[in-house]
Amino acid sequence: MKTLSAALVAATAALAFSVTAQAEPDGEAIYNQACMACHMTGAAGAPIKGDAEAWEPRLEKGIEILYTHSIEGFNAMPPKGGNLSLSDEEVKASVDFMVSAVE
């Protein structure tokens, strides 16, 4: 009976951990779904992914400002790129994906 109780406790703990554990947002998938239309073409002045010169002045302000602008909107960019269903973490993951192309 003790073995069964211990097994149930272990199984419950494992299940609780797996339910609460969150996967990291997929920045590339979010970019492809919500950001690519503007950041691939430069629409409305959006910096094109991979264009280091266009990203440089933005990166000079720091990543936190870039996150804030991406989440809250800035100039022609609407909040969260127009997809308000994205979490802040998902937006940050997409920003990280785009920035990684110029670092």
Confidence of residue 21 (pLDDT cuts 50, 70, 90): low
Q: Which residues contact 92 (CB under 8 A, 6 or more apart)?
A: 25, 67, 70, 71
pLDDT digits (tens, 9 = 90+) for 80-98: 999 999 999 999 999 999 9
For the four alpha carbons of 27, 32, 33 and 38, in that order, the dihedral sign comes to positive
pLDDT digits (tens, 9 = 90+) for 36-55: 999 999 999 999 999 999 99
Give the dihedral of Cα atoms 10, 12, 15, 21; nearest 10 deg.
Answer: -80
- Residue 16 pLDDT > 60, yes or no? no
Domain ranges of the chain: 24-100
Report the mean per-residue pLDDT for the chain.
87
Higher pLDDT, 9 or 27: 27
pTM across the whole model: 0.78
- Residue 11 pLDDT > 80, yes or no? no
Q: What is the CATH number of domain 24-100?
A: 1.10.760.10
Confidence of residue 25 (pLDDT cuts 50, 70, 90): very high
